[in-house]
Chains A and B, each alone.
Chain A
């Protein structure tokens, strides 16, 4: 398995853990469903916490993966990123972008039907999650499929 493919699996695991905790917290906090000013502030802190958790976990896990990969294969770090990896990443990010646009569009459409701020924030949180997952899955598919 290629380094970037492994990285995509790790990224999916990070996303799954962070967003599972976030959605579990949302479900367990009645304040978030009230829609008041306090709820808005709490939503802000949730988004910030999710962002920080993703950044920190990504740095830590990728560093560990990098160290393990170097020890196992003996490949130098500069050899990891070549033009094919970049092409795959570019395509995966593009697909992720379109899925983000679609998710936001669906969230806004849902807001027109059910005008509720909680729904908006859940939709946004889910949009970020889906974008990350789609990008990583796309990366894996492109590495497995081979043809670009």
Chain B
């Protein structure tokens, strides 16, 4: 099963007074480039960093990060198509 970790950091930053990437980086004690990489889903942060980011926005970690099972979605769609065709 393949997939990707998605996040809502960008939306949450704008919802929290248009917080800049540098400000968020400062609060969670990482470099701005790391925040850029996380936002673009080019780097999956550790659980600890994930919790720290969620804490900055005052939300649960699941509201910041979630996992999208791409393969699973495709498999389900294929199964559904096969099921419709067979009927």
Report which A residues bind B (CB closer than 8 A).
Answer: 2-3, 75, 78-80, 82-85, 87, 146-148
Closest A-chain residue to B25, C-beta based? A79
Query: Would you give the 0/1 interface string for B24-48, flagging 1 where the beta carbon is closer than 8 Å to chain A?
Result: 0110011101100100101111100
Cross-chain contact A83 with B30 (CB below 8 angstroms): yes
Cross-chain contact A146 with B31 (CB below 8 angstroms): no
Residue numbers in A under 8 Å from B33 (CB-CB):
2, 84
Cross-chain contact B34 with A84 (CB below 8 angstroms): yes
Closest B-chain residue to A84, C-beta based? B34
Q: Give the secondary structure class of B's interface.
A: loop
Other-chain residue from A3, A82, A147, A148 in contact with B30 (beta carbon distance below 8 A): A82
Selected A-B contacts with CB under 8 Å, 16 pairs? A2-B33, A3-B31, A78-B29, A79-B26, A80-B31, A82-B30, A82-B31, A82-B34, A83-B30, A84-B30, A84-B37, A84-B45, A85-B31, A147-B43, A148-B42, A148-B43
Residue numbers in A under 8 Å from B55 (CB-CB):
none
> Is the C-beta of B49 less than 8 angstroms from some C-beta in chain A?
yes
Report which B residues bind A (CB closer than 8 A).
Answer: 25-26, 29-31, 33-34, 37, 40, 42-46, 49
Cross-chain contact B31 with A83 (CB below 8 angstroms): no
Residue numbers in A under 8 Å from B43 (CB-CB):
84, 87, 146-148
Q: How far is the CB of B46 from chain A (nearest CB, A)?
A: 5
Residue numbers in A under 8 Å from B45 (CB-CB):
83-84
Q: How far is the CB of B30 from chain A (nearest CB, A)?
A: 4
Residue numbers in A under 8 Å from B49 (CB-CB):
83
Residue numbers in B under 8 Å from A147 (CB-CB):
42-43
Residue numbers in B under 8 Å from A75 (CB-CB):
31
Complex-state Cα separation, A82 to B37, whole angstroms: 13
Q: How far is the CB of A129 from chain B (nearest CB, A)?
A: 29
Complex-state Cα separation, A2 to B35, whole angstroms: 13
Q: How far is the CB of B21 from chain A (nearest CB, A)?
A: 13
Q: How far is the CB of B43 from chain A (nearest CB, A)?
A: 5
Complex-state Cα separation, A79 to B33, whole angstroms: 11
**A79, A82, A85, A146: which has the most chain B beta carbons within 10 Å?**
A82
